[in-house]
Structure 1
Amino acid sequence: MPIYIPLRKHFEKIIPLTDEEFEYVSSFFKPKKLRKHQFLVQEGEHVHHEYYVLKGCLKAYKLDINDREHVIQFATEDWWISDFHAYFNRAPATLYVDCIEDSLLLSLSLSNREKLCREMHKMEHFFRMKLTASFVALQQRILNSLISSTQQRYDQLIRTYPILFQRVPKQDIASYLGVTRETLSRITPSGK
């Protein structure tokens, strides 16, 4: 099916799959459509799926006691998103995940992920490599937030993910960087 072609390309960046293997693997993924501003995950819910983004843009965030958003992740095409703490620990969500744009996702349940990993060494290898890359990126982000200035964090974000600046509202970029919208306006060229 054409909807699954990007997923196959995504897998094949790390592992080769025969047509038969991919047909089997893709049978575990279910399409999910969401509209702009629709929630994928809400705090307190049980999270049974992780999501691969085919189309759209989403954000994961935590609300503090003053209802201020703290964005921890964006996800556009070819990225994965969920409340991973809730997903892997079968615990209630501590995050919100909602759509910045209309989105088309492929969902994978934890039980199906575990089944795939048990049955196919290739899939276990794929998910281990993705998890390792995510851990390295998160560690780098934490270090950057501890030792880099706001300007340096902004410059790094725009170099690494320039597409976000065309698709994500400025207040979400500011939240991701841990600054106010006003601070972001002061450090961006012409307040862009």
Structure 2
Amino acid sequence: MSNDLLIDSIRRHAAFTPTEATLIGQACKLRSYSKDSWLVIPGEVCAHAIFILDGCVKTYFADLNGQEHIIQPGNSGWWGRDLRSFCHQVSGR
């Protein structure tokens, strides 16, 4: 798996040298997740932004009745995270 999609996405917003692109790539951890995996477990703090190289994710919370409410869908080339937890460093829901 390559981080080329991530580098291309960032290049749309900022210019950088090939050396800087290499440094960005080295600073990122590539991980694969299976279907129905949790990226942030409820009650934990979302410590990282997630760039989706391939596949889909959903950011959601479950209400007191167990009903899911999707906050943000995400496809390849998109960023995903529990924004409230990530920005304020509070427990996810």
TM-score, length basis structure 2: 0.92
Aligned pairs for 1:7-86 (under 5 A) are: 7-86=6-85
Length, aligned pairs only: 93
Matches for 1:62-141 after TM superposition, within 5 Å: 62-94=61-93
Q: Structure 2 stretches of 5 or more lacking a match?
A: none
Structure 1 residue ranges without an equivalent (≥5)? 95-192
Higher relative contact order (CA 8 A, sep 6+): 2
Q: Which amino acid aligns with 1:33?
A: S
In structure 1, what is the Cα distance between the partners aligned to 2:72 and 2:37?
Answer: 16
Percent identity (aligned):
26
Aligned counterpart, 1:5:
4
| TM-score normalised according to structure 1 size | 0.46
User: Quick one: which amino acid aligns to residue 53 of structure 1?
Assistant: I
SS at 1:67 equivalent:
coil
CA RMSD of aligned residues (A): 1.2
- Work out the CA distance in 1 between the residues paired with 2:26 and 2:90: 26
After the TM superposition, which parts of structure 1 deviate over 3 Å for at least 4 consecutive aligned residues? Answer: none
Q: What secondary structure sits across from 1:88 in the alignment? A: helix
SS in 2 for 1:78: coil
Higher helix share: 1
Q: Amino acid of the residue matched to residue 21 of structure 1?
A: E
